[in-house]
Amino acid sequence: MYNDFIEDVSAMQVLDSRGNPTIQVKVKLESGAEGISMVPSGASTGSFEACELRDGDMNEYNGLSVNKAVRNVNELIGNEIIGMNVFNQRELDEIMIKLDGTKNKEKLGANAILGTSIAISRAAANSLEIPLYKYLGGINGKVIPMPMMNILNGGKHANNTLSIQEFMIVAIGGKNFKEIMEMSVKVYKKLKEILKSKGLVTAVGDEGGFAPDLEDDEEAIKIIINAIEEAGYKEGEDFKIALDIASTEMYEEAKKIGKDGYYFWKTNKLLSKEEMIEYIIDLVKKYPIISVEDGLAEEDWESWNVLTKEIGKDVQLVGDDLFVTNKERLKRGIKENIANAILIKPNQIGTITETLDTIRLANKNGYKTVISHRSGETEDTFIADLAVAVNAGQIKTGAPCRTDRVCKYNRLLNIENEIN
């Protein structure tokens, strides 16, 4: 067994892509190797996610500073793990979980724990002088994921007329990642031209997608299909479409107006649970949609079961807020025949070990996995290596715009070059 012991653990506050504070953690080993991580943050978050610890001091970054999380790494976590073998990832993660002692990591903060967990893995890989994806996945980690590229933003991610949060393109006709990226960039740029020609805004949202004011969500799908065709490709053959409806937001908006159902608050449209199911089914019938994420709310299990029975054999149904990378919630989904895929966001659960355990459970039960970024990102490329390590086959990391998104794509281009 290899040995390299943790010599120092330190954290500091840095900024994410929205200019909000987040935590950076550095783990240094006796060999001189070190690993550095930066933790992302979501805007549209599931209520069952692990706790992202922020200070709440309105005099500093409007309450969003993370000094408590930084201190927890520097004063508590570091004291527990300094001197331990960096290659004992599971043991180190379990120590942090026990040190926290809460169900949702609210004492130390999932951001403090995850930052340390990722930095440990990166330090271990650097100690062995191997890429992170090889350290996490061994010789079996070699599948470059298909990007689900978010090119139109709505919902909580954009200040426009679209209630659906993400409209994505999936270049199913590409032979390799390099070609897939070129195809996707062409469609993205063609979409910008089309929006400009219509006099629409081409400013981008948090994840690099455009955020125009359109008549409704269905018009967004139509304009993307137009961009695919204008770029010289065929819908359904070269490209398919994926949606992140983020319907928990609509469910909560309905509650605000005293209604039960789903409220498309930007276009003032209220759908019952039954109507929401029919709406999704109708979209899938009309357009080349390959994947629907969070089509229903995180606690609307009964409707999820109906939707899965209706179209689960034909379309990927992804649980994000529904499962929050949590093994226990995924177990319930498997038992009740809910969805057929899970979105994986390490900061929803808080450690690499728990993330990998959830992925294994999904794989064992035939659920597909999609590795995902957050809307508040950094230049950390961990999720690119993770996607390859676990052979996820799919990744969400935004549009080919903004360095916080493009750095993940560039990392995958480099990994593909190494593997081939």
Please identify which of the residues 26, 105, 345, 408 carries the catalytic annotation.
Answer: 345
Q: Is 345 a catalytic residue?
A: yes
88's CB contacts (< 8 A; 6+ apart) are: none
Q: Could you tell me the CA-to-CA distances from 278 to 68, 165, 242, 284, 295 in Å, in that order?
A: 46, 19, 17, 10, 11
Please identify which of the residues 49, 52, 207, 253 carries the catalytic annotation.
Answer: 207
CB 83 within 8 A of CB 5: yes
Q: In what order do the strands lie in the sheet with 34-38?
A: 6-15, 21-29, 34-38
The dihedrals phi and psi of 146, each to the nearest 5 degrees, come to -80, 125
CB 175 within 8 A of CB 234: no
Q: Is 91 a catalytic residue?
A: no
SS3 sequence, the chain? CCCCEEEEEEEEEEECCCCCEEEEEEEEECCCCEEEEECCECCCCCCCCCCCCCCCCCCCHHHCCCHHHHHHHHHHHHHHHCCCECCCHHHHHHHHHHHHCCCCCCCCCHHHHHHHHHHHHHHHHHHHCCCHHHHHHHHHCCCCCEECEEEEECHHHCCCCCCCCEEEEECCCCCCHHHHHHHHHHHHHHHHHHHHHCCCCCCECCCCCECCCCCCHHHHHHHHHHHHHHCCCCECCCEEEEEECCHHHHHHHHHHCCCCCEEECCCCEEECHHHHHHHHHHHHHHCCEEEEECCCCCCCHHHHHHHHHHHCCCCEEEECCCCCCCHHHHHHHHHCCCCCEEEECHHHHCCHHHHHHHHHHHHHCCCEEEEECCCECCCCCHHHHHHHHCCCCEEECCCCCCHHHHHHHHHHHHHHHHHC
Active site residues: 207, 345
